[in-house]
Copies of this chain bind each other. A is one copy, B any other.
Amino acid sequence: MAYQQTALDTVFHALADPTRRAVVQKLVQGSASVMELAEPFEMALPSFMKHVQVLETSGLIRSQKTGRVRTCEINPERLGAAETWINEQRALWVGRTDRLTDHVETLATKKETK
């Protein structure tokens, strides 16, 4: 569980930056080289590479160097971990509002039968 917590730390941190979210959005559509990914950004290459490192460290993407080109691809499982956590909160929230609704309905029913 502790490992899971740390993973969520890094995943949510990685997604807390617009540049890195844009990289994720690009990679879910297909793998791409670092230069392709960097092109839309007015940013020094070493700075952009730092973002790639953050994404890779978080497990959201994987990369591999072939010759002089580093190609990145998404790791959908890790994105799923963040989704799972949020869905768990939603389930708790929905479950709670369901119980509240039931409670209110129970009270309403009791009033009707008096």
Contacts and interface: CB of A to CB of B under 8 A. Distances in A.
A83 B87 contact: yes
B18 A16 contact: no
A5 B74 CA distance: 21
Interface in A85-104: 85-90, 92-93, 96
Nearest to A15: B12
A43 to B, nearest CB: 16
Interface in A66-92: 74, 76, 79-80, 82-83, 85-90, 92
9 contacts: A8-B15, A8-B18, A12-B16, A29-B96, A76-B90, A80-B90, A82-B86, A83-B87, A86-B86
Closest 3 pairs (CB-CB, A-B) = A13-B16, A12-B16, A12-B15
